[in-house]
């Protein structure tokens, strides 16, 4: 009897390992995923090792090199209008973006998955109430909603997280709800109910793992969207308060010297584009993994 029960488990474990290896190979063999992984890794490594790199402080001012585009050993990419090193502000700006954007999306995912699970699993008036509130929030253009929220509560990391949660959670909730509506009719959910499992167990242990593939892809895309939004807020003067390095703020500051030093705006703009592109390509690669 033990042999009969043990064999399927061994086959299942071996099959799981085989599928895992195949998906990892697919991720790195896919040109799209490889490029996305490289771009994201570049900025992540730059952000992680910023304190040990031979860089000037991102807030230190050099009065002798105000808005100097001339490359030098001290200022490789020149300085901004206040004499601050552009390269240093780019790399330290990556630390800010790669902290705020994933944190904001993580909180939004937590809230969105929760309300989506509740709406999809219970249905009825709970689903109706959550859906109507989501419809109201989704009726606003995302950037307009961000501007309204940040303009009223003030720019800070906490407030950006709050604004991202309010703007993104309804969309995440809708995706989760649609996934749960399809999964809760499966036989393993009926079996869990027959075993006497409570609703929390079914949602967290049975439903959530089967939703994670689509939700991880969506999270990668939303991190990219959030990076763009943070840049827009910085350009509008609603980003992180100075002297924090802010890529969007750097683009705005450079607009006054475009005729003299146009590359000053291209550096932070390229940083935003490359990081967003990296997350989008990585999401495409992860989407390929979901294909049988």
Express each pLDDT in 21-63 by its tens digit: 555 565 666 788 888 899 999 999 999 998 887 777 777 777 6
Report yes or no on 7 lying in a domain. Answer: no
Given a cut of 90, is residue 109 above it in pLDDT? yes
Q: Rounded to the nearest 5°, which phi and psi values hold at 125?
A: -70, -25
CA distance to 64, 190, 198, 202, 279, per residue, from 193 (Å): 73, 5, 7, 8, 39
Report yes or no on 85 lying in a domain. Answer: yes
Report yes or no on 27 lying in a domain. Answer: no
Report yes or no on 20 lying in a domain. Answer: no
Report yes or no on 4 lying in a domain. Answer: no
Confidence of residue 1 (pLDDT cuts 50, 70, 90): very low
Report yes or no on 38 lying in a domain. Answer: yes
Express each pLDDT in 206-263 by its tens digit: 899 888 888 998 999 999 999 998 888 888 888 777 777 888 888 888 777 777 677 7
Q: How many domains does the chain have?
A: 1
Express each pLDDT in 176-190 by its tens digit: 999 999 888 888 888
Report yes or no on 281 lying in a domain. Answer: yes
Contact of 145 with 165, CB cutoff 8 Å: no
Task: Provide the whole-model pTM.
Answer: 0.82
CATH number of the domain residue 177 falls in: 1.10.3720.10
Domain hosting residue 246, numbered range: 33-289
What pLDDT does residue 7 have? 37
Contact of 101 with 47, CB cutoff 8 Å: no
Given a cut of 80, is residue 193 above it in pLDDT? yes
């Amino acid at each position: 009897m033990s042999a009969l029960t043990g064999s399927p488990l061994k086959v299942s474990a071996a099959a799981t390992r085989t599928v895992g290896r195949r998906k990892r190979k697919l991720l790195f063999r896919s040109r799209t995923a490889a490029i996305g992984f490289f771009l994201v890794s570049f900025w992540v490594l730059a952000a992680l090792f910023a304190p040990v790199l031979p860089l000037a402080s991102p807030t230190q001012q050099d009065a002798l090199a105000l808005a100097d585009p001339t490359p030098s050993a001290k200022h490789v990419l020149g300085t901004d209008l206040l004499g601050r090193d552009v390269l240093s502000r780019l790399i330290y700006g990556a630390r800010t973006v790669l902290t705020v954007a994933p944190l904001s999306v993580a909180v939004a995912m937590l809230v969105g998955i929760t309300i989506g699970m509740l709406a999809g699993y219970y249905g009825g008036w709970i689903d109706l109430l959550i859906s109507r509130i989501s419809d109201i929030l989704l009726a606003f253009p995302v950037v307009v909603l961000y501007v309204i929220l940040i303009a009223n509560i003030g720019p800070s990391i906490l407030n950006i997280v709050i604004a991202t949660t309010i703007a993104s959670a309804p969309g995440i909730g809708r995706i989760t709800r649609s996934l749960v509506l399809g999964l809760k009719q499966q036989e393993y959910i009926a079996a869990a109910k027959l075993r006497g499992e409570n609703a929390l167990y079914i949602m967290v242990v049975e439903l959530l793992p089967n939703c994670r593939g689509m939700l991880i892809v969506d999270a990668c895309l939303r991190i990219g969207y959030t990076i763009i939004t943070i840049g827009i807020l910085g350009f509008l003067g609603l980003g992180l308060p100075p002297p924090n390095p802010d890529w969007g703020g750097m683009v705005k500051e450079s607009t006054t010297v475009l005729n003299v030093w146009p590359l000053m705006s291209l550096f932070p703009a390229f940083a935003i584009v490359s990081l967003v592109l990296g997350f989008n390509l990585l999401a495409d690669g992860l989407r390929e993994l979901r294909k049988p």
